[in-house]
Structure 1
C-alpha cells in the first residue's frame, strides 16, 4: 500500500490561509538583514510566505505586513520582483 506523501503547507502572511508550499512565494531576511525573494524556498533566514497572486502582493505592499513580519524595511524592488514572478507563472 503506497502512503500518500504529506504536502508541506505554509501560512500566507497576508490572507492567513494555509496553502501548499508550491502555491506560495517565500521572502527571506538573512542574518545580515538583507531581504530577497527566495523562489527555491530553501535559503537560510527568517521567511514569510505570500500567495502567488497579484492581489495578495498588492495587499502586502499596502499593508506593509512583510516589513512587520520580517521586522525590517522592505524595498519596493522586492514587490516588483514578486509581481514579475507571479506574472511569469500565470
Structure 2
C-alpha cells in the first residue's frame, strides 16, 4: 500500500486557522530586512502565512498583523501583490 504523504499545515496569522500550506500565501522577511511575497514557499527568512482571501489581506493591512509578525514595515505594494495573487491575475 502506498503511504499517504502528510500535507504540511500552516497557520494564517489573521484568522489563526490551520490550513494546508498550498492554500496560503507566504510573506518573507530576510535578514537584510527585505519583505516580499514568496510564492515558492522555500525562500530563507522569517515567514508569515495569509489565507488566499481578500478580506483576510485587507484585515492584515488594517491591523498591521504582518508588520508585527515580521518585525518590519510591510510596503503597500506587498498587499497589492497579494490581492493580485488572490484575484488570479498573478500565477
Normalised-by-shorter TM-score class: over 0.9
Cα RMSD (Å) of the superposition?
A: 0.8
Report whether the alignment pairs 1:61 with 2:65: no
TM-score by length of 2: 0.95
- Consecutive unaligned residues in structure 1, runs of 5 or more: none
* Aligned mates of 1:2, 1:39 — CA distance in 2: 29
* Aligned mates of 1:23, 1:56 — CA distance in 2: 13
Report whether the alignment pairs 1:88 with 2:88: yes
- Consecutive unaligned residues in structure 2, runs of 5 or more: none
**Correspondence for 2:37:** 37
Q: What CA deviation, in whole Å up to 9, does each residue of 1:43-88 have, x standing for no partner?
A: 0000000000101101100110000000010110000000001101
